[in-house]
Structure 1
């Protein structure tokens, strides 16, 4: 695949911000974001929202970072370092989501914002209370350049069960009505399909990204990795459809390079670029 250009030694790379939780198992969250950003030659600033207690089997518990501390991290790095794009991951609570949205507006940011609305586990378990889902819909989605829900998250956000192409389009329309400029309804959890069909919608046109399904159980962090690669491409000036296409190719290669770890789901791996 074609990669983003790596910066020359001592040259300042493109900068991005990830606002997300820390994964103690190293497979998802900020750890997954940082791996992809580093291997795409992008410098990542972070605003940590939560510290999770998890491994390859599941999330045991998590501790929220105070909302004002999350906001403080954003306010510290953006004016000093500057960013060309940003993404969100696990935001943990309504208070954090509301504070992130308010701080984004206070900083008068106009760079692309990718919202990965982490609200359900890979097994479909809810990770956010209903009040936090309301905050996502009401406060953060209207600021988003792109939202990237999986099918479990679609059900929580707009109460649509995506089972085929028709319901996937209905979900995209319902999500777009919440205010983001673009919606990517990921199809990785669609059953009995040879492909992993993602659908992009901007309020007028649908764009399909079929993608060959990769047969692996080691898929932890795939959503974070897709969103991070898309964010990196946006930081390099890609248009949204091209950035999504790049992110899709990247996460597919990361799935092919995924490795077993622990007793559960191993992580997708961007380390393939070291040998590409």
Structure 2
């Protein structure tokens, strides 16, 4: 597993995949910069009149529900169908699902209307997509008794996608394999957009491989490791603004050697 994931970093830098992202206005700049930092190329078109043409040029599509409205929903539906027709992978970030009825219903409609290769969310978002009743607090996760590993596995089986559950320990499952990544820093929760950037990074890796399980691991672990590395560089008077910049610096320096040295990952036995 480690070797196949590590190999993806050089391939991304070489191929520079174009990742079309329909994302939220709060974190669009961060997602674009994270995409560039790891070696991809971002495009952030969300106009329904041109989104299909743009998707056809891309190697991956990221759909982020952060700042949802009827226009962006129309664009998402068109983009998802186009990506499916063109065999372009779709990565869904169900931001805030479970917080409002509208958001939850529209997320379910999107899932019904397209095939999604990877879903990345926090505990409550993923659990709600499965039909659970945890209430999402804005974009923050509510409590759940099962582990992230068990949730990701159950969700992968139910939703027929690779599922990434973000948290203190990130979990990735493709319904037959489940991996835990134990990197990160508590400071990641103090900076807006780290979850969205994680999804953007996953999208970049999906743009150069059809092994979506490995792509998901590469993307989420890159963010967790980068958060950890960035925290190590902070001095006494450095705050979250500096930390945010250092995360991008760490992503831009990520390669196979650093990843293999820093990653704390294990595969769970069958649950």
TM-score, length-scaled by structure 1:
0.68
Q: Paired residue for 2:21?
A: 18
Matched position secondary structure for 1:200? strand
Residue in 1 aligned with 2:234? Answer: none
Match of residue 43 from structure 2: 45
1:271 to 218, 228, 249: 249
- Residues in 2 aligned to 1:44 and 1:175: alpha-carbon distance in whole angstroms: 27
| 1:176, distance to aligned residue in structure 2 (A) | 4.6
Distance 1:269 1:119 in 2: 23
Would the alpha carbon gap of residues 168 and 137 (structure 1) be closer, same or farther in structure 2, given more than 3 Å must change?
A: farther
Deviation at 1:143, TM superposition (A): 1.9
3-state SS of the aligned residue for 1:148?
Answer: strand
| Alpha carbons of structure 1 residues 222 and 201: separation in structure 2 relative to 1, 3 Å | same
Deviations 1:247-276 (A, max 9, x none): 1321023313167346xx957722125566
CA contact (8 A) 2:191 2:240 kept: no
Q: Is contact 2:152–2:165 with CA below 8 Å preserved after alignment?
A: yes
Q: Distance in 2 between matches of 1:170 and 1:274?
A: 31
TM (norm. structure 2) is 0.69
- For the pair 1:72 / 2:49, whether they are aligned, the reply is yes
Deviation at 1:148, TM superposition (A): 0.7
- Inter-CA distance 219–209: structure 2 relative to 1 (3 Å threshold): farther
Q: Which runs of 4+ in 1 moved over 3 A?
A: 1-8, 93-96, 154-157, 160-168, 265-268, 273-276
1:145 aligns with 2:113: no
Q: How many residues align structurally?
A: 228
User: Are positions 1:183 and 2:183 aligned together?
Assistant: no
Aligned-partner SS, 2:220 = helix
Indicate the residue corresponding to 1:87 in structure 2: 62
For 1:72, what is the secondary structure of its paired residue?
coil
**In structure 2, the residue corresponding to 1:88 is in which secondary structure?**
strand
After TM superposition, give the deviation of residue 102 of structure 1 in Å. Answer: 3.6
Tell me the equivalent position of 1:234: 206
The Cα shift of 1:199 comes to: 2.5
Specify the SS of the correspondent of 1:184: strand
Work out whether 1:96 is the aligned partner of 2:99.
Answer: no
How large is the RMSD of aligned CA atoms in angstroms? 3.3
1:47 counterpart SS class: coil
